[in-house]
Structure 1
Amino acid sequence: MRILLDECAPRPLKRELADYEIRTVVEMGWSVKKNGELLRLMSQEGFTVLLTTDQNLRYQQNLQQAGVAVIVLVASSNRLPDLIPLMPDVRDVLNTIAPGDVTEVASS
């Protein structure tokens, strides 16, 4: 499983999933790409999951057709201290998520 961390999420969040193959949009050189092109590039490069804080992505793109799964992090902000508590639930979701799925992981 290859995970892409969207540029709207803090890059240090990557350390929380060190046991997975995870890259950032910036590392891939895709920081100026629009969502549709980003999803196409993800598929071409073998990424299977997009980890993002963009809650509107599911309404803007046909994720079923893109063939990638999306995990949307929902917290009070997209700052690292607000997102780290979501990571145990993200790991659980990664065990079951399938291409085309969109799953929100929210703080309680």
Structure 2
Amino acid sequence: MRILLDECTPRPLKRELADYEICTVVEMGWSGKKNGELLRLMSQEGFTILLTTDQNLRYQQNLQQAGVAVVVLIAPSNRLPDLVPLIPDVRKVLNTIASGEIVEVGGY
């Protein structure tokens, strides 16, 4: 399982998932890529999961066709203090999510 941390998600969140193979969009040199191109690049590079705060992605892209799973973090903001409390639930989702699925975490 390779996880890509989306550009709209704070990079320090990566430390919270250090036991997974996780890269950021910036590290991959993909800053500024549109979602469709990003999903294609992810698939080509062997990433299986996108971790994002972009709640509109499911309406903009065909995730089944892209062949990746998406975990959407739902919090009051995309600031680290709002996202870190979601990590235990993210870990549970990472163990069960399948390609083409989109799962929202948070927003309770």
TM range (shorter): over 0.9
Matched with 2:68 is: 68
Residue 30 of structure 1 aligns to a residue whose secondary structure is coil
Structure 1 gaps, min length 5: none
Q: Percent identity?
A: 84
Q: Which aligned segments of 4 or more residues in structure 1 are displaced greater than 2 angstroms?
A: none
Question: d(CA) in 1 for partners of 2:80 and 2:32?
Answer: 22
- Shift, 1:75, TM fit: 0.2
Question: d(CA) in 1 for partners of 2:81 and 2:57?
Answer: 23
Question: d(CA) in 1 for partners of 2:45 and 2:71?
Answer: 18
Question: d(CA) in 2 for partners of 1:75 and 1:57?
Answer: 16
Q: Give per-residue Cα distances to partners, 1:68-105, cap 9 Å, x unaligned.
A: 00000000000000000000000000000000000000
Question: d(CA) in 1 for partners of 2:34 and 2:69?
Answer: 17
Matched with 1:32 is: 32
> Is the Cα–Cα contact under 8 Å of residues 53 and 78 in structure 1 kept in the other structure?
yes
TM-score (norm 2): 0.99
> Is the Cα–Cα contact under 8 Å of residues 3 and 50 in structure 1 kept in the other structure?
yes
Structure 2 gaps, min length 5: none
> Is the Cα–Cα contact under 8 Å of residues 5 and 52 in structure 1 kept in the other structure?
yes
Question: d(CA) in 2 for partners of 1:26 and 1:37?
Answer: 15
Residue 31 of structure 2 aligns to a residue whose secondary structure is coil
Residue 15 of structure 2 aligns to a residue whose secondary structure is helix
Could you tell me which amino acid in structure 1 is paired with residue 41 of structure 2? L
Could you tell me which amino acid in structure 2 is paired with residue 80 of structure 1? L
Q: Give per-residue Cα distances to partners, 1:6-48, cap 9 Å, x unaligned.
A: 0100000000000000000000000021000000000000000
Residue 96 of structure 2 aligns to a residue whose secondary structure is coil
TM-score (norm 1): 0.99
Could you tell me which amino acid in structure 1 is paired with residue 30 of structure 2? W
Residue 12 of structure 2 aligns to a residue whose secondary structure is helix
